[in-house]
Amino acid sequence: MNTADLGLPVDVPSTALFTDQYELTMLQAALKAGTAERRSVFEVFTRRLPNGRRYGVVAGTGRVLDAVENFRFDADVLGFLRERKIVDEETLQWLAGYRFSGDVWGYPEGEVYFPGSPIMRVEGTFAECVLLETVILSILNHDSAIAAAASRMSSAAGDRPLIEMGARRTHELAAVAASRAAYVGGFASTSDLAAGFRYGIPTVGTSAHAFTLLHDRERDAFRAQVDSMGRGTTLLVDTYDVAEAVRTAVEVAGPELGAVRIDSGDLLLVAHRVRQQLDELGATGTRIIVTSDLDEYAIASLAAAPVDAYGVGTQLVTGSGHPTCSMVYKLVARAESADPRAPLVPVAKKSSGGKTSIGGRKWAARRLDEYGVVEAEVVGTGAVPAELAEQQLLVELIKGGDVLARESLDVVRDRHAAARANLPLSATQLSRGEPVIPTEYVNGRSGSQTGS
């Protein structure tokens, strides 16, 4: 198959091979053992947040829904599996008709999460659910890591807009997903056109240092850009001498110049000097945009600087030091037979090294204090306590294989802003600390609670 025909930079027609081989070999063995059709419940959660983080951000849910819908074993995919002898012919025949027909529940995209939160619950037969493990984790681990970094950056930036510009620092497909996750986390726009095309995210961009270096004089470059894009454009002023470039920029564009961009040097000092110079030249409405390998700490350090917007690349698309969320996909309950009426039995991994899990199909809710601020993440099995019934977090995303909950990114973005605002104030502190609220486990049979 020619991958150039697949349209990979924007979308993919099948997600069936975005998986690990052992998903298919487990399927083959379960089919032979007669256990493949047992009703099962898998849950996605993380045992801990990245070191020092106060909360996580659920992102990628919309992409998961697309991935589940597109999880199809077409002739080319089946041919590959047959040629490599990955599974036997009986399993290939089963895969040829694969369509997920189960149910998926999850935290709404943009919501925050904590250690132990059942971020997503996948229910169906063991066979149809186990195949989705890798692709679901791949999406949620990546997108949630980017969204968490974006959320910290947008909190540090306050009302100043953030531009995502990290496409050149990561894989071309990851760049599109990163732009989407950054928008969920509070970024206002992206430089990546594929993200704009695929997800409708606002796109921005004007020129780089190469455009200035192309011309004989900096003035010539500025003139060419203003003639092409108008006086409201953004001129890059740190190719040579910043003060001279600012003076030239205002001479060429006039006081109506839209913005100047600073990409190097001591940004705090340079921003103050540029603001003073622009005001003295009468360009009081000209904005200052700073870039140059920013992260949330650098953004916070510029809070007192006369900066109007930030452009962030490398640190964003790498999760600001935490490129994954360590989410796992675990079987937590299964039936004792293939009879659809057979009751579910809780199951859990028991091991040392902090990798134990809690069995049972779980619900999750947030307990609020008297001021309406979240004070605990409550996770339990069995009946939901009456006082938490209105604070449940899981919503139905897929029912009987049909997607129910597609949402616009603007809705998701607003949800995240609201969820973050409802956390204790210390959630937005950049200093290292424990999760901003504890996770409490409730055993539905005994009503006992444990904290984490």
Provide block-wise average pLDDT over 10 residues at a time, the chain (452 residues). Answer: 39 83 98 97 96 96 96 95 98 98 98 98 98 98 98 98 97 96 98 96 97 98 98 98 98 98 97 98 98 96 97 97 96 94 92 78 96 95 94 98 96 98 94 93 61 54
N residues, the chain: 452
Of 37, 44, 18, 19, which Cα lies nearest the Cα of 330? 44
| pLDDT value of position 443 | 79
Of 142, 13, 141, 139, which Cα lies nearest the Cα of 64? 139
| pLDDT value of position 448 | 47
Which residues make beta-bridge pairs with 312? Answer: 164
Listed in sequence order, the residues at least 6 apart from 20 whose beta carbon sits closer than 8 Å to its beta carbon are: 133, 134
Question: What kind and span of H or E run contains 45?
Answer: strand 39-46
| pLDDT value of position 452 | 52
| pLDDT value of position 382 | 92
Q: How far apart are alpha carbons 388 and 391 in whole angstroms?
A: 5
Of 452, 329, 345, 422, which Cα lies nearest the Cα of 20? 329
| pLDDT value of position 8 | 41
Is there a shared CATH topology between the 14-132+322-358+393-429 domain and the 206-294 domain? no
| pLDDT value of position 3 | 35
| pLDDT value of position 4 | 38
| pLDDT value of position 404 | 96
| Domain extent listing, the chain | 14-132+322-358+393-429, 206-294
Which residues make beta-bridge pairs with 344? Answer: 335
pTM metric for this prediction? 0.93
Q: Which CATH superfamily hosts domain 206-294?
A: Aldolase class I (3.20.20.70)
Q: Strand ranges (DSSP E) for 263-394? A: 287-290, 309-312, 327-335, 344-346, 362-368, 374-381
| pLDDT value of position 14 | 86
CATH class of the domain at 14-132+322-358+393-429: alpha beta
Q: How far apart are alpha carbons 375 and 326 in whole angstroms?
A: 24
